[in-house]
């Protein structure tokens, strides 16, 4: 046996002494992509995997959609013994509770370590399966209130049974009155004394006169995340709510979207600054926003890590972009214009929608792409940038994708003018980490163009391609056959590189 193989064998033997299945399981919980899960499980010693992990590996090799959070609807289609084997290896499952799934849950015991993300209608009638940990393990509960009001007494009983609940999201389809809102908040306060994350939303915008019951929840030391979507309050109440949110010493995530009075109060120069511990901030409005300078002043000294700004009409945010703190890791901008793009050393995710960027901002963005080793996600699908600016960005993509030290994703828009350029980007990329490309089009990407992408994919390594376009059944069969001729694997709309050996890093 060669010295190299002896060293590898010795390393595996030493690792086996501490790499026990529970430790391996905890590592798997932290992995988001199927590729990472399979690579990790293949790398660990055989003794480090138990039956649950072996079953997980077999399942996700064939059905990648079962990771990271499989739907119970999909699990119910699998043999019951296999489901029982794999459940301990799943960190979380998604269940939209109805009659059929209620029966499945009753006959399928859930391990205490597997969390549940559940969705349910407003009548809460299906919360009658309080056995096998399915109710007590609910970590994230979404309630959709359709037409009728919530039975607040039943709501309180339901929430009390969810002893591990971390996130509660309630969305009303129709407007509600103040009395009903206060009763819902009272039920939440009584049954979930330590609930950290609360999301309140509505399908149709409405305004309430008072917010005292909501202020009581925000005052709790356990509050960490609050999202308010399409529910507004009268100006005086909105001011009180804004002061309470911005004075919080515990909130790390704040979203205010389509709540004009609340947002205006948050942006008022006399309002408190952004909390120092706040890390994730989303502001969105379809109405005008006159307090750009005020917000820039509040943002500059903050330690925000995720910034999401959305506008109904285009707004020049150059003064905001000039003071974005260097702590920002995620930057999402919708319907904005700017003359400046910040050099953010920790930036990991950029999404631009309906953006108007000056050439200086484009140059700064391409410079960031050429130098960053932390940016792992770029979404320009709906950026609506002109072709000359997109071309500059496309020139920088091969170097960006080739330099990354982690798996990365790019969502790009296809036009007739950039088909050849995007195919060239794929061919020129020499990535050492996994790359996921999503190419989206507005009927410009015909079968000939798609063939050029698959041909280019045939020259790549560790790359996955999704083409978000419609094909006829006949064209789809022909296209998949064309892919196979170029040694490109196709499964569930995803096309995979034929090679498994990574390129040498640049």
Q: Kindly report the CATH number assigned to the domain that includes residue 494.
A: 3.80.10
User: pLDDT tens per residue, the chain (506 residues)?
Assistant: 555 555 555 555 555 555 678 888 889 998 888 878 888 888 888 888 899 999 999 999 888 889 999 999 899 999 999 999 999 999 999 988 765 677 788 888 899 899 999 988 866 765 665 556 788 899 999 999 987 678 888 899 889 989 999 999 999 999 999 999 999 999 999 999 999 999 999 999 999 999 999 999 999 999 999 999 999 999 999 999 999 999 999 999 999 999 999 999 999 999 999 999 999 999 999 887 888 999 999 999 999 999 999 999 999 999 999 999 999 999 999 999 999 999 999 999 999 999 999 999 999 999 999 999 999 999 999 999 999 999 999 999 999 999 888 889 999 999 888 999 999 999 999 988 889 999 987 665 677 788 899 899 999 988 999 887 766 666 777 788 888 888 888 877 788 888 655 555 44
- Examine residue 394 and state whether it is found in any structural domain, yes or no: yes
Within its chain, how far is the Cα of 198 from the centroid?
17
H-run or E-run covering 464:
strand 463-468
Q: Under a CB-based contact definition with an 8 Å cutoff, are residues 306 and 323 in contact?
A: no
- Examine residue 9 and state whether it is found in any structural domain, yes or no: yes
Q: For residue 290, which phi and psi values (nearest 5 degrees)?
A: -95, -5
**pLDDT given at position 101:** 72
Task: Mark which of 18, 39, 63 sits at the end of a domain.
Answer: 63
Task: Mark which of 46, 63, 80 sits at the end of a domain.
Answer: 63
Q: Under a CB-based contact definition with an 8 Å cutoff, are residues 261 and 207 in contact?
A: yes
Count Cβ neighbours within 10 Å for each residue of 363-391 and write b for 16 or more, e otherwise: ebbbebbeebeebbbbbbbebebeeebbe
- The token pair that represents 355 in the structure block: 């953006």
The CB-side HSE value for 160 (13 A sphere, CA atoms) comes to: 10
Give the span between the Cα atoms of 134 and 72, in whole angstroms: 11
- Examine residue 306 and state whether it is found in any structural domain, yes or no: no
- Examine residue 292 and state whether it is found in any structural domain, yes or no: no
Q: Under a CB-based contact definition with an 8 Å cutoff, are residues 479 and 439 in contact?
A: no
**pLDDT given at position 207:** 97
- Strand-pair partners of 118: 95, 141
Q: Under a CB-based contact definition with an 8 Å cutoff, are residues 352 and 379 in contact?
A: yes
**Kindly report the CA angle at 200 between 146 and 329, in degrees rounded to 5?**
130
| Omega before residue 68 within 30° of 0, cis | yes
Give the span between the Cα atoms of 411 and 416, in whole angstroms: 17
Q: How many domains does the chain have?
A: 2
Give the position of tokens 């046996």: 1
Verdict on whether the full-model pTM lies above 0.75 = yes
**Kindly report the CA angle at 470 between 469 and 473, in degrees rounded to 5?**
140
Distances (CA, A) of 453 to 292, 418, 434, 471: 42, 11, 17, 15
- Examine residue 226 and state whether it is found in any structural domain, yes or no: no
- Examine residue 351 and state whether it is found in any structural domain, yes or no: no
Start-to-end Cα distance in the chain: 33
Strand ranges for 16-166 from DSSP E: 92-96, 115-121, 138-145
Distances (CA, A) of 436 to 30, 367, 457, 465: 19, 22, 11, 6
Give the span between the Cα atoms of 76 and 73, in whole angstroms: 5
**pLDDT given at position 205:** 94
DSSP 158-201: HHHH-TT--EEEEEESS---HHHHHHHHHHHHHH-TT--EEEEE
- Examine residue 232 and state whether it is found in any structural domain, yes or no: no
**pLDDT given at position 303:** 97
Give the span between the Cα atoms of 158 and 192, in whole angstroms: 10
- Examine residue 435 and state whether it is found in any structural domain, yes or no: yes
Task: Mark which of 63, 82, 109 sits at the end of a domain.
Answer: 63
Give the span between the Cα atoms of 220 and 229, in whole angstroms: 21
Structural domain harbouring 5: 1-63
Give the position of tokens 């990407």: 445
Give the span between the Cα atoms of 248 and 215, in whole angstroms: 11
- Gyration radius (Cα) of the chain, Å: 25
- The token pair that represents 270 in the structure block: 């006399």
């Amino acid at each position: 046996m060669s010295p190299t193989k002896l060293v590898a064998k010795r390393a595996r033997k030493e690792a086996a002494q501490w790499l026990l299945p529970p430790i391996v399981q905890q590592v798997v919980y932290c992995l988001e992509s199927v590729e990472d899960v399979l690579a990790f499980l293949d790398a660990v010693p055989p003794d480090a995997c138990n039956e649950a992990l072996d079953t997980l590996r077999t399942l996700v090799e064939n059905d990648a959609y079962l990771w990271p959070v499989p739907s119970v609807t999909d699990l119910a289609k699998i043999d019951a013994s296999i489901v029982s084997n794999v459940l301990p290896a799943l960190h979380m499952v998604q269940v939209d509770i109805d009659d059929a799934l209620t029966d499945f849950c009753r006959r399928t015991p859930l391990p205490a370590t597997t969390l549940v993300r559940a969705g349910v209608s407003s009548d809460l009638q299906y919360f009658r399966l309080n056995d096998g940990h399915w109710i007590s393990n609910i970590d994230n509960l979404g309630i959709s209130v359709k037409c009728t009001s919530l039975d607040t007494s039943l709501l309180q009983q339901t929430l009390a049974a969810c002893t591990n609940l971390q996130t509660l999201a309630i969305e009303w389809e129709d407007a509600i009155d103040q009395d009903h809102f206060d009763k819902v908040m009272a039920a939440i306060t009584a049954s979930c004394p330590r609930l950290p994350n609360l999301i309140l939303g509505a399908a149709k915008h409405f305004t309430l006169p008072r917010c005292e019951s909501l202020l009581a929840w925000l005052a709790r030391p356990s509050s960490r995340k609050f999202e308010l979507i399409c529910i507004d309050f009268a100006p005086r109440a909105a001011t009180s709510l804004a002061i309470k949110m911005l004075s919080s010493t515990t909130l790390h995530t704040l979203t205010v979207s389509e709540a004009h009075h609340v947002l205006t109060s948050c942006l008022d120069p006399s309002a408190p600054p952004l909390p120092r511990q706040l890390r994730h901030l989303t502001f969105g409005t379809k109405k005008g926003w006159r307090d750009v300078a005020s917000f820039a002043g509040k943002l500059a000294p903050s330690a925000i890590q995720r910034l999401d700004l959305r506008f109904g009409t285009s707004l020049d945010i150059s003064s905001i972009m000039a003071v974005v703190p260097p702590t920002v890791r995620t930057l999402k901008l919708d319907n904005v214009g700017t003359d400046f793009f910040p050099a953010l050393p920790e930036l990991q995710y950029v999404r631009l929608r309906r953006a108007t960027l000056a050439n200086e901002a484009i140059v700064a963005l391409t410079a960031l792409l050429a130098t960053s080793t932390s940016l792992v996600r770029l979404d320009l699908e709906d950026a609506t940038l002109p072709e000359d600016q997109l071309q500059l960005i496309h020139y920088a993509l091969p170097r960006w994708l080739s330099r990354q030290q982690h798996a990365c994703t790019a969502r790009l828009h296809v036009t007739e003018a950039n088909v050849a350029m995007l195919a060239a980007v794929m061919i020129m990329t020499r990535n050492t980490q996994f790359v996921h490309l999503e190419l989206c089009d507005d009927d410009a990407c015909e079968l000939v163009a798609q063939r050029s992408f698959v041909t280019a994919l045939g020259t790549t390594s560790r790359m996955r391609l999704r083409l978000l376009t419609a094909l006829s059944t006949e064209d789809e069969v022909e296209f998949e056959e064309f892919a196979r001729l170029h040694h490109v694997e196709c499964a569930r709309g995803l096309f995979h590189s034929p090679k498994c050996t990574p390129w040498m890093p640049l």
